[in-house]
Structure 1
Amino acid sequence: MRVVLVSLVSLVLVGCGRFGFDPGTGTLDAAPRDAPPAGSYSAEVLADEPRVYYRLNEPAGDLVTFDASGNGFDGDYYIDGGTLTLGTVGAIVSETDTAVRLVGGGNLDGTVSRVRFPPEAASWDADFTIEGWVRPELPPPMGWNSAFVIWEDYQVSGFRTGWNVNLVPVFWTDQGGVQSGIDSLTATTPLTENAWNHLIFTRMGGTVTIYLNGVSAAVGLVDFIRPGTAVNCVGSDQGVPSNATFDEVALYPHALTAARVAAHYAAGRRAP
């Protein structure tokens, strides 16, 4: 009888579509995670085959962020003296998904607030794209940058993305021996404080492009040393502060084209 019951349960789950497992509660989600509606923001993202896609819409109290790419790279929320607020209003105009605010001072006060990727989730050896919606709540202190996505063995190798005290996006390194001496790229257009901004960093070969709200804001060569071990995260870590809300973070193992970047931005701003 037990075998029959298990078989029936299995048939029900298969017949109802793809269900998501909620690591925070150890249960299957009540609603199936079916394909998103055509033309929606998440459909545009998934059409470009991200390696990782964190919608960051978990309820308050959850510790795990679900990877909506289908690749199984679930991450986790982590704080050490900082502040992490789930359930804040999200970026996508036509959807009701929520976002997460991360506040940590980094080396300023030793506090950390971040979303961690599994080590195997990021593939930074070749071309890649980092995408997300960011809402800076306050500029970083003078002389500091604020963190978006970090991949770094602290001050040895890797890179950081974020924005400076003027809210201008930056891709930079903080390593002891940069391979070519080209260690940063700064955009020409600032983010808007207390508003949602669509921010993308792509790398093709050695060329990094920064896109802000669907438009290229900087192009240049940036070199970095690949870490043997590294922290992969969104938000405050590796000494870098953060005071921002984040939504719809995706990592791709290829560089999105300018046309696809514009399509993602348009889908995010499209009225319901």
Structure 2
Amino acid sequence: MRKAIPLVLVGIALSACGPTPTAAQGGPGASAAPSAGPRYAATVLADAPAGYWRMGETSGTTMIDATANGNNGTYAGTITLGQPGALTGDKATGVAFDGHTAGATVPSAPALKVTQVTIELWIKKNSESGYGMYVAKNYFQLLNNSYTGRLEFRVTSTPDPVLVSSTILALNTWYYVVVTYDGTAASLYINGKLDGTHPAVATVPPTDGALYLGRRFDGFFTDAVLEEVAIYPTALSADRVAAHWRVATGNR
């Protein structure tokens, strides 16, 4: 029997946008360009994220925010720093979360009280781990559903599945994932390509509350390597998402 998550969420499912692309088309196995890390970081920062955590730390428990907003976070539980990342170059490593105790928490901050949002990150699943949360805040969540292998983006609350990817994410494979939500539509991009979109029927209220990576406030830990996590207070356009992907892969 499947385990239900106690969430009240807007039930919207993404429309499929064709088969999973090949590596040459930006699908699984697509590789980053040599020294892509510094160029990619500059491109992200140019689009003014509210917080950007490159996750390139090699020691300690502080997760550094690369923006001027100072939204540093704290790692806790069984994490492994310095993991090989999706990008090459400066600070281009990731953090492995163990799926049982590991997570990172960013305290509530004015810059993170958003009504529109873009979630951007690189994900490599190590195993299927229930409803493993990649990014979670009061009114939006990006997670992996281990029963389907698909991504789900959730806004507000219902116990039903919500915006669901058409792509099944393979294990031990890096994916570039972006979700945008502007209050009228939600869109999901995987490896620079639109995976699906659907009209939204709810808004994200600008509330206080911590931001969690690799878990939710009450658990739902993920077993994955994450890096280059960014939260924007706006919905990035498809052109900007594609531009970020091109810089990461060297196809500028």
Shorter-chain TM band:
0.7 to 0.9
- Residue pair 1:93, 1:269 contacting (<8 A) in 2 also: no
Task: Give the number of equivalent residue pairs.
Answer: 214
User: Could you report, residue by residue, the CA deviation over 1:3-37 in whole angstroms, capped at 9, with x for unpaired residues?
Assistant: xxxxxxxxxxxxxxxxxxxxxxxxxxxxxxxxx99
Q: Percent identity?
A: 29
Shift of 1:94: 4.8
Question: 2:153 is matched with which residue?
Answer: 171
| Residue 134 of structure 1, aligned match among 98, 110, 123 | 123
Question: 1:151 is matched with which residue?
Answer: 137
Larger radius of gyration: 1
- Residue pair 1:87, 1:100 contacting (<8 A) in 2 also: yes
- Residue pair 2:57, 2:91 contacting (<8 A) in 1 also: no
Shift of 1:265: 1.3
Question: 1:201 is matched with which residue?
Answer: 179
User: SS state of the match for residue 149, structure 2?
Assistant: coil
Q: 1 CA distance for matches of 2:166 and 2:85?
A: 26
For 1:139, give the aligned amino acid.
Answer: E
Q: 1 CA distance for matches of 2:204 and 2:185?
A: 15
- Residue pair 1:159, 1:224 contacting (<8 A) in 2 also: no
Q: Which has the higher contact order (CA 8 A, sep 6+)?
A: 2
- Residue pair 2:99, 2:132 contacting (<8 A) in 1 also: no
Question: 2:213 is matched with which residue?
Answer: 234
TM-score of the superposition, structure 2-length normalised? 0.76
For 1:260, give the aligned amino acid.
Answer: R
Shift of 1:42: 0.7
User: Could you report, residue by residue, the CA deviation over 1:21-74 in whole angstroms, capped at 9, with x for unpaired residues?
Assistant: xxxxxxxxxxxxxxx9998111110110111111101113x1111111122111
Question: 2:41 is matched with which residue?
Answer: 42
Question: 2:22 is matched with which residue?
Answer: none
Distance change (3 Å), C-alpha of 1:208 and 1:37: closer
- Residue pair 2:37, 2:91 contacting (<8 A) in 1 also: no
Say yes or no: does 1:90 pair with 2:88.
Answer: no
- Residue pair 1:56, 1:248 contacting (<8 A) in 2 also: yes
Shift of 1:270: 2.2
Shift of 1:239: 2.8
TM-score of the superposition, structure 1-length normalised? 0.71
Structure 2, gaps ≥5 residues long: 1-34
Q: 1 CA distance for matches of 2:84 and 2:229?
A: 15
| Residue 67 of structure 1, aligned match among 65, 68, 72 | 65
Alignment of structure 1 residues 1-272 onto 2, 5 Å: 40-60=39-59, 62-79=60-77, 83-95=78-90, 97-105=92-100, 112-120=101-109, 123-140=112-129, 144-152=130-138, 158-165=139-146, 166-172=148-154, 175=157, 184-220=162-198, 221=200, 223=202, 226=205, 229-237=208-216, 238-270=218-250
Shift of 1:219: 1.1
Shift of 1:167: 2.5
Q: 1 CA distance for matches of 2:184 and 2:160?
A: 10
User: SS state of the match for residue 99, structure 1?
Assistant: strand
Shift of 1:122: 5.3
Q: 2 CA distance for matches of 1:37 and 1:197?
A: 15
Distance change (3 Å), C-alpha of 1:128 and 1:197: same
